[in-house]
Amino acid sequence: MAQSDTVDRILDAAEELFAERGFAETSLRMITGKAKVNLAAVNYHFGSKNALIQAVFARFLTPFAATLDGAFDDLQQQCAGQPPALDQILWALIESAVRMPQRNEEGMSIFMRLLGLAYTQSQGHLRKYLEQEYSHSFGRFMAFLKEATPELSAVERYWRIQFMLGATAFTMSSSDALRDILYNKLEVETTIQEIAARLVPFLAAGMQAEPAVLPSSKTSVA
């Protein structure tokens, strides 16, 4: 078996199992069983489970970050020195993800489920790795967002970004199921590109909504 084939089989198995079961609940033995390789092969190619998790993310994020940087370069040239509009920034992000070549039909859905797990499960090593490896591309995205939403406080912008990421992860990770539901209910077929086009104005509207009116922290006494 060629080395690259072994690595791909391990990554394919890990990607699918992590998305189905979560990181903590997936053992290396589960992965080797699905990939039909021995544990020594995983240790040789990756060294540890944490390194394998990072490699699963890198396989998607490295080409995605390059595509995103290209989209941001094009956007800056198109805007000719003016700040990009919020919907342009969000479209560059979403469209770059949609444009990524997929190894299978569920590639985007699986990765988005993994991205959601990276936030909801305790994977400090992964967040640190992502910040170190992809800080340039996503730092540009955050800088664009800040420039496009000067009316928001840092705290308000933080929460809106989290809500935006949550809506995006849910929609894209569930895209196949959502498309099936739409067809069963309304007999309307749609593509992932059309879903992305509908998602962007929704996200932009949420980012640009009036600041939240927070309830008073004081308890009223009757």
Whether the per-residue pLDDT at 214 is higher than 90: the answer is no
Whether the per-residue pLDDT at 221 is higher than 50: the answer is no
Q: What is the pLDDT of residue 68?
A: 94
Q: What is the pLDDT of residue 3?
A: 59
Q: What is the pLDDT of residue 148?
A: 95
On whether the CB atoms of residues 39 and 29 are closer than 8 A, the answer is yes
| E strand segments, the chain | none
Does 57-207 carry CATH code 3.40.1710.10?
A: no
CA–CA dist 186, 28 (Å, integer): 43
**N residues, the chain:** 222
Amino acid at 189: E
Mean of the pLDDT values across residues 69-74? 95
Q: Give domain limits for the chain.
A: 1-47, 57-207
DSSP label at residue 82: S
On whether the CB atoms of residues 110 and 16 are closer than 8 A, the answer is yes
Residue carrying the six token digits 């739409």? 182
CA–CA dist 72, 79 (Å, integer): 10
Q: What is the pLDDT of residue 89?
A: 96
Each residue of 132-171: pLDDT tens digit?
Answer: 899 999 999 999 999 999 999 999 999 999 999 889 988 9
Whether the per-residue pLDDT at 59 is higher than 60: the answer is yes
Mean of the pLDDT values across residues 85-107? 84
Whether the per-residue pLDDT at 101 is higher than 80: the answer is no
CA–CA dist 24, 206 (Å, integer): 33
| CATH number for the domain whose boundaries are 1-47 | 1.10.10.60
Q: What angle do CA 66, 68, 71 make, to 5 degrees?
A: 115
**Is residue 19 classed as helix, strand or coil in its secondary structure?**
helix
Q: What is the pLDDT of residue 116?
A: 79
Structure tokens at 22: 């979560």
CA–CA dist 153, 160 (Å, integer): 11
pTM of the model as a whole? 0.82
> In the structure, what pLDDT confidence band is assigned to residue 10 with cuts at 50, 70 and 90?
very high
CA–CA dist 221, 135 (Å, integer): 49
Q: Which of 19-23, 94-98, 115-119 has the least mean pLDDT?
A: 115-119
Each residue of 182-202: pLDDT tens digit?
Answer: 999 999 999 988 999 999 999
Structure tokens at 95: 């469209």
Whether the per-residue pLDDT at 2 is higher than 60: the answer is no
Q: What is the residue-wise DSSP string for 22-50?
A: -STT--HHHHHHHHT--HHHHHHHTSSHH
CA–CA dist 35, 17 (Å, integer): 11
